[in-house]
Amino acid sequence: MQLHDFKTLADSYTVFFFDAFGVLKNYKGLIDGVVDTFAYLRDRQKPVYILTNDASRSPQQLAESYWRLGLTDITPDMIISSGMLAREYLQLKVDHGTVAYLGTESSAHYIESADLHTISIGELTLENISEVNALVLLDDEGFDWNTDINKAVNLLRRRNIPVIVANTDVTYPVSKNRLAIAIGSIADMLESIVGKQFIRFGKPDAQLFMFAYERVQEVLPGISKRNILMVGDTLRSDIAGGNKFGLDTALVLTGNTAAHEAELRIQATGIIPTYVCESIQL
């Protein structure tokens, strides 16, 4: 497996889509070289977007989290999150009533900003259940798993309503050796139990890429997909999604895919990045 130098790619492409976790940051903080790479791209006026499966916070809050880590180049409009897609869906498709949610209050506040009334699953009662017109799965925290996942099952047996999964990730790393279960796994379990089809937002689905591509075209009208590079650490979301959308893709080895297993996984999955780079360090 040939490793490519990220600097060559930084010079060759016009626009960059980055995954967040495992590319820009990890459980310890920013990944080495990220500040310099962002400065390099900014100096050359190359637009950068962050495409992230995250519905726990608003773009503003996500941008601030990068500032606190020392990456001050990031503005909220550079962030495209699966939560934004969920919010757009709810705005377009749920025009009255209440949206129930599994997640933190903070994640729900962002949904609420779409003029929708939200209620946590924990607050559901026999009285208010008939007003619930959608269920949105936002985050794995902020609720009692045993009680509230069971309440969600029984809500979906009584009310035939759309269920929106605002983050399809199945796990996320919390330390070098430990994973935590993400809301995407809870969504899979719920969907299998109730037998209904949920609506999922997030990579590898095309909609997140489309959202970012539309934003690029406001800045650079008529830009070809050939000039955009998608950079990620995960074959099944970042690389599969970028490839299918027609973009060139670069797999970096600073996150989910370790150097020693990259070649084997590319072979086993048939998900083939255009390039493999150690990291985005120049």
Binding mask 201-220 for a second copy (x = CB under 8 A): ----xxx--x----------
- Whole-number minimum distance, CB 104 to a second copy, in Å? 13
Q: What is the CA radius of gyration of the chain?
A: 19
- Whole-number minimum distance, CB 260 to a second copy, in Å? 11
Residue numbers 114-173 binding a second copy by CB under 8 A = 140, 144-146, 149-150, 153-154, 156-158, 160-163, 170-171
Binding residues with a second copy: total (CB under 8 A): 58
Q: Which is nearer to a second copy, 73 or 131 (CB)?
A: 131
- What is the largest distance, in Å, between two alpha-carbon atoms of the chain? 62
Interface pick for a second copy out of 129, 194, 220, 223 (rule CB under 8 A): 194
Interface pick for a second copy out of 1, 180, 258, 259 (rule CB under 8 A): 180
Of 112, 198, 108, the C-alpha closest to 153 is 198
Residue numbers 234-253 binding a second copy by CB under 8 A = 236, 240, 243-247
CB 62 within 8 A of CB 76: yes
Q: Which is nearer to a second copy, 77 or 144 (CB)?
A: 144
- Pairing verdict, β 29-30 and 25-26: antiparallel
- Pairing verdict, β 171-173 and 179-181: antiparallel
Burial of 221 (0-12, 13-18, 19+ CB in 10 A): exposed
In this structure, what is the dihedral angle of CA atoms 239, 226, 222, 58, given to the nearest 10 degrees?
A: 20
Q: How far apart are CA 190 and CA 5, in angstroms?
A: 43
Q: Which is nearer to a second copy, 20 or 247 (CB)?
A: 247
Interface pick for a second copy out of 8, 12, 72, 189 (rule CB under 8 A): 189
- Whole-number minimum distance, CB 192 to a second copy, in Å? 6
Q: Which stretch binds a second copy (CB under 8 A): 46-54, 96-104, 117-125, 260-268?
A: 260-268
- Whole-number minimum distance, CB 76 to a second copy, in Å? 22
- Pairing verdict, β 48-52 and 15-18: parallel
Q: Which residues of 153-189 are buried (b: 16+ CB within 10 A; e: fewer)?
A: eebbeeeebbbbbbbbbeebeeeeeeeeebbbebbee
Which residues, other chains included, contact 190 with Cβ-Cβ below 8 Å and sequence gap of 6+?
A: 137, 149, 152, 153, 156, 163, 198
Residue numbers 64-93 binding a second copy by CB under 8 A = 88-89, 92-93
- State the residues that interact with a second copy by CB under 8 A: 88-89, 92-93, 140, 144-146, 149-150, 153-154, 156-158, 160-163, 170-171, 177-181, 185-186, 188-189, 192-199, 205-207, 210, 225-226, 236, 240, 243-247, 266-272
